[in-house]
Structure 1
Amino acid sequence: MKQTKQSFLTPPLKSQTRAWNPSTGRNHKGRITAWHRGGGHARLYRNIDLKRKLTQGIVVGLEYDPNRSAFLARVFNPDTKKHSYIIAPTKIQKGDVIRSNSTRNGLQNGHSKTLRHILTGSLIYNLSVYPGKDGKILRAPGAFGRILKRTNSLAKVRLKSGQYRWFDIKTIATNGVVSNSDSRFTKLKKAGQSRWLGRRPTVRGVAMNPVDHPHGGGEGKTSGGRPSVTPWAKPTKGPSTRRLRVQPKPNVKI
């Protein structure tokens, strides 16, 4: 999907954004439970229609979302005069018309339908686990699933991981493949880019002082001098799995 720089400079919709307060890896007591998180650029969260029951209209633009790697499509509904966001599929362009909860059989890119009305062998994304719920599966860039088989009540889908799962035939999915499939080739140019994304540095234990880590200290460069452990001296690679064979004692008669 070819994008222009100008399409990503469009400010987000005020009616579809809200404040976003990241947790910085801390729990309700303020203690760090997920390390190496924090900082980052200020973000606004975009309200995205993941149910895909009512959003339909004309695609008026494609936008960047700081909270995900895939692009967003801004959809204008001429009937309600309202804008909304959806996860953009590949090959979607400005001016395309999309429909939600459609009953037409076919390969309409960006149309959402129940699995009952999607052709067998079609590529889908934004798949919900249960009928009426938000799409939870196949939302990453370049992700897609394929419908392999259908019965009167279930549909068999092959996911991106290669797993085969059965879903209720009333669940909703979207035709197409998630946009920005080349995001996995993105390389960070400097350490500051990681800080913009909210990723803090990872420090090796051998580079610390003895008071900070069991691997720390020593004269010059050392490799730890012991099996790898956590900062709390627990084995990082799990307990030893080697079984020492005990030699039987010889029967000595006196």
Structure 2
Amino acid sequence: MKQNKQFFISKPLKSQTHAWNPSTGRNHKGRITAWHRGGGHARLYRNIDLKRKLTQGIVVGLEYDPNRSAFLARIFNPDTKEHSYIIAPTKLQKGDIIRSNSKRNGVQNGHSKALRHILTDSLVYNLSLLPGENGKILRAPGSFGRVLKRTSTLTKIRLKSGQFRWFNIETMATYGTVSNPNARFVKLKKAGQSRWLGRRPIVRGVAMNPVDHPHGGGEGKTSGGRPSVTPWAKPTKGPSTRRFRIQPKPNVKI
């Protein structure tokens, strides 16, 4: 982290930013689906190359991104004279060369390749679910996956959660580990800092009226009067309500 501070860039590229209208937790019908969101400081969205098929050049520096906890790396291509952004890996230095969709052997930090050309037991991030799509998983600070096994059509990767998943061998991934692994240790200085980040206060159900929550109401101070439930009266201290998508077993050809 101390090394990275030497080449941090304070202002983003105007050509790679545009206005961002936050949803404040509402869906396309205007109904709140993610609670306790709203307000916050105005943000500009950075156009990031998540496909990692074209971006290549020299690392100019690192930048802070208000839309994610990981840092961004600004890449300058001397051939096209253009700048672009990628999600920065750890141990990235100013002046490093970044290549995308490379077919060369070896492990280069920040280089992207198809899983076909990535060595087993390598650490990767910014992994797409299908060939040609944006990288959607392993993008959080400090995240990485480990390539365990490769067949003629599929690659087996252990994700940060410990889950094992098979991916198409033509899927793109990037060597390394996502930058800023200490982001989870940041402590907010005051309540207003949480509001700057767009997080609104959370109110207990027992402090509400009966019309707002099943725990609400009652004379004086109560503890709810019933087992803990959600605002829709579903038990919160019972079995898991998460729905797991069963992934079909691939036809592995060795």
TM score, norm. by length of structure 1: 0.87
Q: Does 1:237 align with 2:236?
A: yes
2:36 maps to 1:36: yes
Are residue 123 (structure 1) and residue 123 (structure 2) matched? Answer: yes
Cα root mean square deviation, aligned: 2.0
Residues 53 and 6 of structure 1, relative CA distance in 2, 3 Å threshold: closer
Shift of 1:108: 0.5
Partners of 2:212 and 2:115 in 1: how far apart?
54
Query: Percent same amino acid at aligned positions?
Result: 81
CA contact (8 A) 1:127 1:138 kept: yes
Whole-Å separation in 1 of the counterparts to 2:238 and 2:167: 39
Q: Which consecutive unaligned segments of at least 5 residues does structure 2 have?
A: 240-254
- Which residue is equivalent to 1:134? 134
Aligned to 2:183, the other structure's residue is in SS state helix
Pairwise CA distance, 1:219: 4.1
> Which residue is 2:26 aligned to?
26
The 3-state SS of whatever aligns with 2:18 is strand
User: What is the identity, as a one-letter code, of the residue corresponding to 1:195?
Assistant: R
Q: Does 1:162 align with 2:150?
A: no
Per-residue deviation, 1:67: 0.4
* Mapped contact 1:148–1:157 kept (Cα < 8 A): yes
Tell me, in whole angstroms, the C-alpha distance in 1 between the residues paired with 2:236 and 2:186.
Answer: 30
Match of 2:63 in 1: 63
1:152: Cα distance to partner? 1.9
* 88-97 or 18-27: bigger deviation: 18-27
1:205-220 alignment, distance < 5 Å = 205-220=205-220
TM-score when normalising by structure 2: 0.87
- 2:14 is matched with 14
Q: Deviations over 1:87-137 (max 9, x none)?
A: 000000111111111111111101111112111111111111111111111
Cα deviation for residue 231 of structure 1 reads: 4.1
Which structure would you say has the larger Rg? 1
What per-residue deviation string (whole Å, max 9, x for no partner) do you get for residues 178-203 of structure 1?
00011111111211111111111011
Question: Structure 1 stretches of 5 or more lacking a match?
Answer: 241-254
Aligned pairs, how many? 238
Partners in 2 of 1:218 and 1:16 — Cα distance? 55
Q: Are positions 1:202 and 2:202 aligned together?
A: yes
Name which of structure 1's ranges 153-162 and 72-81 shifts more when overlaid on structure 2.
153-162
Q: Distance in 2 between matches of 1:160 and 1:185?
A: 18
Distance 1:108 1:5, change over 3 A: closer
Where 1:4 maps in the other structure, the secondary structure is helix
User: Bigger CA drift: 61-70 or 158-167?
Assistant: 158-167
Deviation at 1:228, TM superposition (A): 2.9
Whether the 8 Å contact between 2:141 and 2:180 is mirrored in structure 1 is: yes
Counterpart of 1:4?
Answer: 5
Aligned to 2:177: 177
Q: Does 1:152 align with 2:159?
A: no
The amino acid that maps onto 2:39 is G
Q: Tell me the distance in 2 between the aligned counterparts of 1:59 and 1:50.
A: 16
| Aligned counterpart, 1:112 | 112
- Contact 2:208 / 2:216 at 8 angstroms: preserved in 1? yes
Inter-partner Cα distance in structure 2 for 1:29 and 1:202: 23
- 1:227, 1:235 within 8 Å by CA — same for their partners in 2? no
| Structure 1 CA distance for aligned equivalents of residues 217 and 132 of structure 2 | 57
The answer on whether the counterparts of 2:228 and 2:237 sit within 8 Å (CA) in structure 1 is no
Q: Distance in 2 between matches of 1:21 and 1:88?
A: 25
Segment drifting more, 45-54 vs 206-215: 206-215
Instruction: Say which SS state the counterpart of residue 195 (structure 1) adopts.
Output: helix
Aligned partner of 1:77 in structure 2 is 77
**1:162-193 Cα distance to aligned partner (Å, 9 max, x none):** 11111111111111000001111111121111
How far did 1:237 drift?
2.8
Secondary structure, in 3 states, of the residue corresponding to 2:189? Answer: coil
Provide the C-alpha distance between the structure 2 equivalents of 1:160 and 1:14, rounded to a whole number of angstroms.
34
Do the aligned partners of residues 227 and 151 (structure 1) sit closer, same or farther apart at CA in structure 2, a change above 3 Å counting? closer
Q: Aligned residue for 1:95?
A: 95
* Distance in 2 between residues matched to 1:107 and 1:121, nearest whole Å: 11
